């Protein structure tokens, strides 16, 4: 009874990624910020942060150059990098909610009231009533995360 279960939460990797990108954006006059500086700034190991940065690179959010004076920089203007995009790159693109129950429950409901012509499958189709609400919630959340960018955070930091 010591620990409550933990579940619906963004991963630490997402945290690292967002903070790293903000640091890059804030240092844009300089070029090629190395993993050493990034990991020291965030207080995270170089080896782990490297993995996160590699993902960001593979998805075209940052550019990376090896070698002396190498490092990372944003691949695009900070106002074109949304929170949603970063989160999806790191967390993957699965949906907030997947229906795992049988097709029985909600379809019995529908069938009994004479809407029996609908599909018979609850797995991911739009027929599941619970999923319908959750999909709405997801779109709601995503819309918010689309409206916030790396740049908008910087703007806010400088009280405007």
Partner DNA sequence: TTATTATGGACATCAAAGGTCCATAATAAA
Partner DNA sequence: TTTATTATGGACCTTTGATGTCCATAATAA
Residues that bind DNA (CB under 7 A): 3, 5-7, 11-13, 34-36, 44-45, 47-48, 50-51, 53-54, 57-58, 64-72, 91-92
Residue 116 interface partner, choices a second copy, DNA, none, CB cut-off 5-8 Å depending on type: none
Closest distance to DNA from the beta carbon of 33 (Å): 7
Query: What burial class does residue 150 get, using C-beta atoms within 10 Å of its C-beta: 0-12 exposed, 13-18 middle, 19+ buried?
Result: buried
Site for a second copy contains 157 (CB under 8 A): yes
Q: How far is the CB of 68 from a second copy (least distance, A)?
A: 25
Cα–Cα distance list, 156 to 14, 147, 160 (Å):
20, 13, 6
Output the six-digit token pair for 64: 């990376």
Q: Pairing mode, if any, of strands 62-65 and 71-74?
A: antiparallel
52 binds, among a second copy, DNA, none (CB under 5 to 8 A by kind): none
Q: Is 119 in the site for a second copy (CB under 8 A)?
A: no
| Binding string, residues 44-63; x marks residues near a second copy by CB under 8 A | x-------------------
Packing angle between helix 35-42 and helix 46-58, nearest 10 degrees?
110
Question: Is residue 34 within 8 Å of 41, Cβ to Cβ?
Answer: no
Name residue 82's beta-bridge partners: 149
| Range 59-88, binding a second copy (CB under 8 A) | 83, 87
Helices (H), 2-157: 12-26, 35-42, 46-58, 83-91, 104-112, 129-146, 150-157
Among residues 110, 125, 135, 151, the one that binds a second copy under rule CB under 8 A: 110
Q: Is 151 in the site for a second copy (CB under 8 A)?
A: no
16 belongs to the binding site for a second copy (CB under 8 A): yes
């Amino acid at each position: 009874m010591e620990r409550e279960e933990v579940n619906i939460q963004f991963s630490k990797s997402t945290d690292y990624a967002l903070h790293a990108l903000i640091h890059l954006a804030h240092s844009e006059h300089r070029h090629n910020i190395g993993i050493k500086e990034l990991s020291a700034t965030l207080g995270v190991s170089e080896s782990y942060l490297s993995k996160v940065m590699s993902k960001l690179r593979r998805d075209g959010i940052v550019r990376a150059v090896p070698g002396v004076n190498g490092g990372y920089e944003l691949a695009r203007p900070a106002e074109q990098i949304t929170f949603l995009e970063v989160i999806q790159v790191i967390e993957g693109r699965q949906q907030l909610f997947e229906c795992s129950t049988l097709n029985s429950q909600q379809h019995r409901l529908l069938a009994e009231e004479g809407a029996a012509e609908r599909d018979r499958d609850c797995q991911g189709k739009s027929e599941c009533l619970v999923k319908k609400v959750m999909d709405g919630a997801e779109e709601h959340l995503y819309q918010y995360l689309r409206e916030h960018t790396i740049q908008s955070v910087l703007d806010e930091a400088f009280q405007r």
